[in-house]
Structure 1
Amino acid sequence: MQSTRGWSTELEGLRGFASLWVVLGHICILVHSSIPILSMPKIGVDLFILLSGYLMAKNYIERQQKEPWASGATIKKFWTRRFFRIAPLYYFLLIIAMIYGPWFGEMRDVIAQFYPSTATETSRYSDQSFINIISHISFTFGFLPTYGFNTVLPDWSIGLEMQFYMLFPFIMLLTLRFGYIPTLLMIMLLCTIGRFALSSYYDAFSMPSLILIKLHMFIAGMFLAEAVRKKQLSYVLLALIAPLVSAIMNIRMGKIELVFEAAMIIGMAMVLWQYKSDAKMEKLMKLPRAILTNRISTWLGDVSYSVYLLHLLIVIPVIAILLRDHHLDAISAPLRVAVVSGICLPLTYGLASLLYRYVEKPGIQLGKRILAPRPAPTGTVS
Structure 2
Amino acid sequence: MNVEVLRGQAAETTRARIDLPGLLAMRCYAALAIMLFHLIALPKLQIPTYLSFIPTHFGFGVPLFYIVSAFGLFVGYAGRIGSRAELREFYLRRFFRIAPLFYFMIVFFYLLFWMLGGRPFPLSQVISSTLFVFNFIPQHVSGIVMASWSIGVEMAFYAILPLLVFAITGLARSLVLFAVAVFLAANWALAFQATEGALSLFGQLSLMAHLFYFAAGIAGYFIWLRLCRTSPEIGRIIFAASLLTIICLICFANQIAIFLGTILGPSGSAGIKAVWAATLTGAVVGVSLHPQRWFVNAAAKLLGNASFSIYLWHPIVIVMLDRLGLYRAIYASFGGASLSFIASVIATLAVLIPLSLLSYRYIERPGMALGTRFSRHRSA
Aligned partner of 2:73 in structure 1 is 56
1:18 and 2:11 are equivalent in the alignment: no
Q: Take 1:249 and 1:132, find their aligned partners in 2: how far apart are those partners?
A: 37
Distance 1:315 1:255, change over 3 A: farther
1:264 and 2:280 are equivalent in the alignment: yes
Please report how far the alpha carbon of residue 301 of structure 1 lies from its aligned counterpart in structure 2 after TM superposition.
Answer: 0.6
Aligned partner of 2:215 in structure 1 is 219
- How do 1:309-328 and structure 2 match up within 5 A? 309-322=312-325, 326=329, 328=331
1:358 and 2:362 are equivalent in the alignment: yes
Aligned partner of 2:350 in structure 1 is 346
- How do 1:122-201 and structure 2 match up within 5 A? 126-175=119-168, 179-183=173-177, 185-196=179-190
Q: Take 2:271 and 2:375, find their aligned partners in 1: how far apart are those partners?
A: 45
Aligned residues of 1:9 and 1:292 also touching (Cα < 8 A): no
Please report how far the alpha carbon of residue 328 of structure 1 lies from its aligned counterpart in structure 2 after TM superposition.
Answer: 4.1
Aligned partner of 1:38 in structure 2 is 54
Q: SS state of the match for residue 218, structure 2?
A: helix
Please report how far the alpha carbon of residue 144 of structure 1 lies from its aligned counterpart in structure 2 after TM superposition.
Answer: 2.1
1:85 and 2:81 are equivalent in the alignment: no
Aligned partner of 1:290 in structure 2 is 293
Distance 1:41 1:87, change over 3 A: farther
Q: SS state of the match for residue 99, structure 1?
A: helix
Please report how far the alpha carbon of residue 265 of structure 1 lies from its aligned counterpart in structure 2 after TM superposition.
Answer: 2.4
Amino acid in the other structure paired with 2:288: L
Please report how far the alpha carbon of residue 191 of structure 1 lies from its aligned counterpart in structure 2 after TM superposition.
Answer: 4.3
Structure 2 spans left out of the alignment, 5+ residues: 1-13, 232-237, 239-244, 246-255
Q: Take 1:191 and 1:254, find their aligned partners in 2: how far apart are those partners?
A: 7
Q: Give the structure-1-normalised TM-score.
A: 0.74
Higher relative helix content: 2
Q: Deviations over 1:225-248 (max 9, x none)?
A: 000101299xx9xxx9xx99x987
Q: Deviations over 1:174-231 (max 9, x none)?
A: 3369955545544544444444456567961168431100000000000000001012
Aligned residues of 1:149 and 1:207 also touching (Cα < 8 A): no
Q: Take 1:344 and 1:142, find their aligned partners in 2: how far apart are those partners?
A: 29
Q: Take 1:307 and 1:250, find their aligned partners in 2: how far apart are those partners?
A: 35
Structure 1 spans left out of the alignment, 5+ residues: 107-124, 274-284, 377-382
Q: Give the structure-2-normalised TM-score.
A: 0.74
Q: Take 2:359 and 2:194, find their aligned partners in 1: how far apart are those partners?
A: 39
Q: Deviations over 1:50-84 (max 9, x none)?
A: 101111111112xx3xx443x22222211111111
Taking every aligned residue pair, what percent have the same amino acid on both sides?
A: 24
Q: Take 1:152 and 1:315, find their aligned partners in 2: how far apart are those partners?
A: 14
Q: SS state of the match for residue 291, structure 1?
A: coil
Please report how far the alpha carbon of residue 346 of structure 1 lies from its aligned counterpart in structure 2 after TM superposition.
Answer: 1.4
Aligned residues of 1:53 and 1:219 also touching (Cα < 8 A): yes
Distance 1:158 1:249, change over 3 A: farther
Aligned residues of 1:195 and 1:249 also touching (Cα < 8 A): no
Q: Deviations over 1:108-143 (max 9, x none)?
A: xxxxxxxxxxxxxxxxx7442111211111111112
Q: SS state of the match for residue 127, structure 2?
A: helix
Q: Take 1:183 and 1:263, find their aligned partners in 2: how far apart are those partners?
A: 17
Q: Take 2:127 and 2:164, find their aligned partners in 1: how far apart are those partners?
A: 27
Amino acid in the other structure paired with 2:217: G
Q: SS state of the match for residue 372, structure 1?
A: helix
Q: SS state of the match for residue 162, structure 2?
A: helix
Q: Take 2:27 and 2:194, find their aligned partners in 1: how far apart are those partners?
A: 33
Q: Take 2:54 and 2:65, find their aligned partners in 1: how far apart are those partners?
A: 16
Distance 1:5 1:205, change over 3 A: farther
Amino acid in the other structure paired with 1:142: N
Q: Take 1:176 and 1:77, find their aligned partners in 2: how far apart are those partners?
A: 21
